[in-house]
Structure 1
Amino acid sequence: MDHFDMNSNISKATALLTMESLNLPPLGVYPAFVLGTAVYCFILFCNSMLVITIALHGSLHKPMHLLLFNLPINDMVGASAFFPQFIASILAQRRSISYPACVVQGMLIHLYGVGSLLILTVMAYDRYVAICSPLRYNAIMTNGNLVKIIAAMWLADFLVIGALFALLTRFDICRTLIVDMYCNNPTLMKLICEDTYINNYYGLFLTVLTQGGSLLVITYTYVQILLTCLLNKQSDAKSKAIQTCATHLVVFLFLEFNAFFTIIAHRLNSVSPYLRKSFGVSVLIFPPLLNPLIYGLKTKEIREKIKFFNKQVSHF
């Protein structure tokens, strides 16, 4: 099939795009469908449980937990942008998607990616204030300030991604092949035959701003936290703080590295497409899958409330 025509533009409203084949053998279609459905349902269940637990228990309405409340919501957005279309294409054995649906999928996936970085950065700042300035924590992380922080975080996410896709959708397309497992800004850019230098500059600026900015903030806060912990003579407080921060740092670095590699791989033809697609998909599977387990099971207060909630449900 010819996916490229330099001489004619394609109607974006009616264009049917083709994603790269999954190359599943006939016997592998239904096992892949069942596995994909099971993983998606597990992600929705675990993240919903975390959201419900924090929402229903007033004792968890503290800054740390209210910031954490945003993470499972964001993870469900990312998973829901990818899994339903992916699972449907496995079952139908047809890797096609309309251009408008592709743009929506790409926008949701980018909102999820930037949202994850912003949420983890704000959570790191919360831990920094709690550990490094415990006497000022209640004065800094007031309910009013918390609302402003969360609102600013989501507003920034929607503004930067909205601008990214506003720049993208102003162009006509002349290709119909999506060279990835899902739609995103780099793959949609490859459908365009016109000069997209403004988009490229903005994309690089956004990458530096979100990933570089998050890395700088988290590096600074965690260096300060580590120094404070080393000076703290209370071994219990020290070990608890280091354990909490280490877990948070592993989650952040996994997301940061995978997302950065995926973005850069689209700009370097020498990178294996299989490696690029593997890293890209892992960003949408593992954080939504593991975050509720890491933050739900490793946070004592949340773990106890989940156990209590399950006991109450089992009585009905």
Structure 2
Amino acid sequence: MDLFNSALGRNITFVRPSHFIIRGFIGISNVKYYYVFLFFIFILSVLGNVFVMLLLLLDHNLHTPKYIAVFSLAVSDLLNSCALVPKLLDIFLFNHNLISYSDCLTFLFFCYMSLSMEALNLVALAYDRLIAIVSPLHYHIRVTNKVMSGLIAFFWTFVLLVLLTATGLLTRLSFCDSVVIKSYFCDHGQLYKLGCNDTSPNRIIALFLIIVILWLPLAFILASYIRIGIALLKISTMKERVKAFKTCTAHLSLVAIYFVPILTTFTMSSAIDPNIRIINLSLTSVVPPLLNPIIYVLQTQEIKDSVRKLVKVKIQNVITVKIVK
């Protein structure tokens, strides 16, 4: 303990608070209606992602590399909704702004886990589309169920280790001044800035997370679509180009929904009102899990065919039961 305290500085006593206070919005009336709105989004997103997961598990025709990544995306979306929204409702709708030290770190870990996996699942889907369009003859060799499962497992393991490190580094901080978190959840950046000892390791891991979880995935996705665009230009007829591009529309929609608002917030954080920042980040956290299953059901032909088949079988079963009776 002496060595640890010396790392904090000679005049600082290590302080680990029993609770933090999550401040949330400032000066906005009737804000509870916003959290009721989030609650309805939460219910719909849970139902939508559970539906997609069950559909992918039940239809063996969808047991392909692409839908392994889609399944992982649905899992991360479900984790995101369940980790974030119920706690938000408890904090702000029922005025339980106090959150214990350990609960705060747990809250942070699972929120960042799901948000990070959202980006990396989009990378896996970009890789699938890249090989499918650029090297279609090698697709079944380079993108197999085993390869995609290994890639997804690597992403989950990588995020788990990085976030355990980021969360562990927070435990070395001394909170001797304020315990008020200026956000709507236990935000990593807002939390380590409350530390009154050396926060440079926390800043480094935060920068690492932004680069590896946001900018590198986005750079890979953009580079993939530049390569896809070049490949599409080489296709002889416009009809074939459009047909090939349609296989990418669902993925491109998800990329835009996830990256545009979150990068806008982070790159313009100093110019954005704190309340607007909270709204932007909270919607970025809850809207993609709602829209992802809808987009894949509406824009992906295999999913639509699977839904039709499921409905057809259900109707046939109902008719058979009625005839037997």
TM-score under structure 2 normalisation? 0.85
The alignment of Structure 1 onto Structure 2 pairs a total of residues equal to: 306
Q: Secondary structure at the match of 2:174?
A: coil
Contact in 2 for aligned 1:18/1:177 (Cα 8 Å): yes
Contact in 2 for aligned 1:17/1:99 (Cα 8 Å): no
Shift of 1:34: 4.3
Deviations 1:242-298 (CA, angstroms, capped at 9, x unpaired) = 2332442342133223333444556x4x54212321221121121111111111221
Amino acid in structure 2 at the alignment position of 1:184: D
Q: Secondary structure at the match of 2:245?
A: helix
1:20 corresponds to: 24
Shift of 1:111: 1.0
CA distance in 1, matches of 2:166, 2:236: 48
Shift of 1:23: 5.5
Contact in 2 for aligned 1:107/1:184 (Cα 8 Å): no
Q: Which runs of 5+ in 1 are unaligned?
A: 1-5
CA distance in 1, matches of 2:26, 2:100: 18
Q: Secondary structure at the match of 2:21?
A: strand
CA 1:11 to 1:273, structure 2 compared with 1: closer, same or farther past 3 Å? same
Tell me whether 1:168 sits opposite 2:170 in the alignment. Answer: yes
Tell me whether 1:240 sits opposite 2:221 in the alignment. Answer: no
Tell me whether 1:108 sits opposite 2:110 in the alignment. Answer: yes
CA distance in 1, matches of 2:133, 2:284: 30
Aligned counterpart for 2:223 among listed residues 220, 224, 229: 220
1:43 corresponds to: 45
Deviations 1:66-110 (CA, angstroms, capped at 9, x unpaired) = 111111110111111211011223442342322211111111111
Q: Which runs of 5+ in 2 are unaligned?
A: 1-10
Contact in 2 for aligned 1:19/1:96 (Cα 8 Å): no
Q: Secondary structure at the match of 1:70?
A: helix
- How do 1:1-316 and structure 2 match up within 5 A? 10-12=15-17, 14-21=18-25, 25=29, 29=32, 31-32=33-34, 34-174=36-176, 175-264=178-267, 268=270, 270-312=271-313, 315=318
Which has the larger Rg? 2
CA 1:161 to 1:264, structure 2 compared with 1: closer, same or farther past 3 Å? farther
CA distance in 1, matches of 2:62, 2:258: 26
Identity of aligned residues (%): 26
Q: Secondary structure at the match of 2:99?
A: strand
CA distance in 2, matches of 1:68, 1:237: 25
Amino acid in structure 2 at the alignment position of 1:37: F
TM-score under structure 1 normalisation? 0.87
